[in-house]
Amino acid sequence: MLYIFRRLTVSFRMIDLHTHSIFSDGELIPFELIRRAEDAGYKALAITDHVDASNIDFIIPRIVKAIDRIRSSVSIVVLPGAEITHVPPKMIPDLVKEARSLGARIVVVHGETIAEPVIKGTNRAAIEADADIISHPGLISTEDLLFAKEKNVSLEITSRKGHSLSNGYVAKEAMRFGVPLCINTDSHSPSDLITKETAKRILLAAGIEENRIDSIFENAKHLVEKALRRT
C-alpha cells in the first residue's frame, strides 16, 4: 500500500531545469520552446541560456519578460534561469548573484564535463556560490561531492550527448555520498526534449537502482518549489 501511495504522489510529467533558446545556442525562441515542452507533456521547464559577463544583463531580463507574458496562457510551470558557462571560477559568485538579481529563478553552472575544457575549480566555485545545479559535473572530486551535499547543491544527470559520458560516475558517487541529483535534457533543439519515462530509463542506465529513482524526481520538484518561492 505504502508503495502504491508513494507512486501516486510523484507526478508522471517531466521536470526539466536546463534548456537553451535562441538567446544562446538553442534553436527555438522561448515561446516555441515552451509550446514544445507543453506538447511533450512537461510539468515544468527552466530556460537557462548560456551567460557570461558579456550577455547576462541582456538575456535574463528578456527571458523573464517572455515568461511573465505567457505564464497565464500555458499549462506548465516555466522558470527563467541561466547557465553560467566557461566563466573563470573566481568570477562565478558575482555572476550567480547578478543572475538572481536579474530574475533568474534557476541558476545552473556549466560544470566540469569531460567533453569540454571547462576550467578546473568550476564545480567548487559553483557550490561556494550557492548555484542551484551543477550541470554535467564530470569527474567531480570527493571533496566537492561532500561540499555539494553540505550546501544542498544538486548535481545533474544529463540526456545530452557527450556530457552524458560521465553519468555513470556522477550517479555512483552522488548516491554513495547522498548528494541530491536531478535529470535534465540540456535541450538545444525540439527533438532533445524527453518524456519522464525516458528520463527514468536514462537514470536506470546510469546505474541508479529503481527504488532511488523517485527521490531524484522529488528533488526536481523541490527545486521548482524553491524557485517559485524566490522573490
Q: What is the spatial distance between Cα 170 and Cα 186, in angstroms, rounded to a whole number? A: 16
Min separation Cβ 50 and Zn ion, Å: 7
Q: Pick the stretch among 54-62, 72-80, 86-94, 178-186 that binds Zn ion (CB under 5 A).
A: 178-186
CB contact set of 59 (below 8 Å; sequence gap of 6+): 23, 24, 49, 51, 82
**Does 188 help bind Zn ion (rule: CB under 5 A)?**
no
Question: Nearer Cβ to Zn ion, position 106 or 145?
Answer: 106
Residue sitting closest to Zn ion (CB): 110
Q: Show the 3-state SS of 174-226.
A: HHHHCCCEEEECCECCHHHCCCHHHHHHHHHHCCCCHHHHHHHHHHHHHHHHH
| Candidate list 21, 123, 135, 154; residue touching Zn ion; CB under 5 A | 135
Q: Which grid cell is 108?
A: 545552473
| Candidate list 43, 105, 110, 200; residue touching Zn ion; CB under 5 A | 110
| Candidate list 132, 156, 186, 192; residue touching Zn ion; CB under 5 A | 186
In the window 18-57, what residues touch Zn ion (CB under 5 A)? none
Q: Which residues bind Zn ion (CB under 5 A)?
A: 83, 110, 135, 186
